[in-house]
Amino acid sequence: MSCDDVPIEFVRWAFCLRHPIPRVLSTSCDYDQTTRLWARWCPTDLPHPRRVTSMGQSPERMHSMLLICTASDGHNRQLAQVLLSTAKDLGIEAKFLDLTIIGLPLYTPATEKNVGQPAALASVESLFADARGLAVCSPEYNGSIPPVLTNTIAWLSRKSSDFRGLFNGKPVMLATHSGGHGQKVLMAIRVQLSHLGCNVIGRDIAINKDKPLNPDSARSVLTTMQHLIEQRRPT
């Protein structure tokens, strides 16, 4: 329901009585529509409503952070750390998340029923919520995605407060160090994250023992991510 669907009498009553709920707006309610209602119906001495995200943060306080995740503790962890260092050299705010050490149990409906929300999930959700863009470094396991990555997504989808907000519209870059070419895992991750609403960029990084990382390519892909992240800054 949009804000224009709310009866005007209620809006005026709520705002003018300084009701606390309309003064802090969710992204699920169109901010521009509510601002127009506020200007039309409310006394000028009332504070202007501020917009918040689903995590309770005002947009102006959100970081333009790139979250670099690794789905293995070997070559792809090393690749992720190189990307982290390169991103910082380019002036990109970046954080590192090793999915292999966060300790989430294997997701099953029975585990969800017995465990509820795993203690480790809150910090993971917070990192994904703060991120304006994602970089995923993953090996190719049996021609597809490592279980640790799908398991993390499964828990976030079931127990996070705003699952769609963690992924929807965010730019994503993919990278792999695989024994082969890694194209199958890149395609599998691209399909899954696109399904979640991510903007997975067309250029990826695929390296192996015979094809080392090209620093210029890494900088180029990260620069593309930087531009996309900057476009997502609140105005």
Copy the structure tokens of residue 162: 């705003």
Confidence (pLDDT) at 212: 95
- Alpha-carbon distance 124 to 134, whole Å? 13
Amino acid occupying residue 162: D
Q: Is 147 helix (H, G, I), strand (E, B) or coil?
A: helix
Angle of helix 121-130 relative to helix 147-159, nearest 10 degrees, comes to: 90
> Given pLDDT bands bounded at 50, 70 and 90, which one contains residue 55?
very low
DSSP structure class, residue 134 = E
Each residue's pLDDT tens digit, 173-205: 999 999 878 999 999 999 999 999 999 999 999
Each residue's pLDDT tens digit, 134-181: 999 999 999 999 999 999 999 999 999 889 999 999 999 999 999 878
Copy the structure tokens of residue 66: 């790139």
- Alpha-carbon distance 167 to 153, whole Å? 10
pTM for this model (two decimals): 0.73
For 206, the enclosing helix (H) or strand (E) is strand 205-207
Please give the share of the chain, as a percent, with pLDDT higher than 70. Answer: 72
Report domain extents, the chain. Answer: 3-51, 61-231
Q: Are 173 and 222 in contact (CB under 8 A)?
A: yes
Q: Are 203 and 221 in contact (CB under 8 A)?
A: yes
- Alpha-carbon distance 38 to 21, whole Å? 13
Copy the structure tokens of residue 210: 């015979």
Ordered alpha helix ranges (H), the chain:
8-16, 31-41, 75-89, 109-115, 121-130, 147-159, 163-167, 183-195, 215-231
**Rg, Å, the chain Cα set:** 21
Whether pLDDT at 1 is above 80: no
CA dihedral of residues 34, 46, 41, 26 (deg, nearest 10): 20
Q: Are 176 and 185 in contact (CB under 8 A)?
A: yes
Whether pLDDT at 35 is above 70: no
- Find out if CATH 3.40.50.360 is the number for domain 61-231: yes
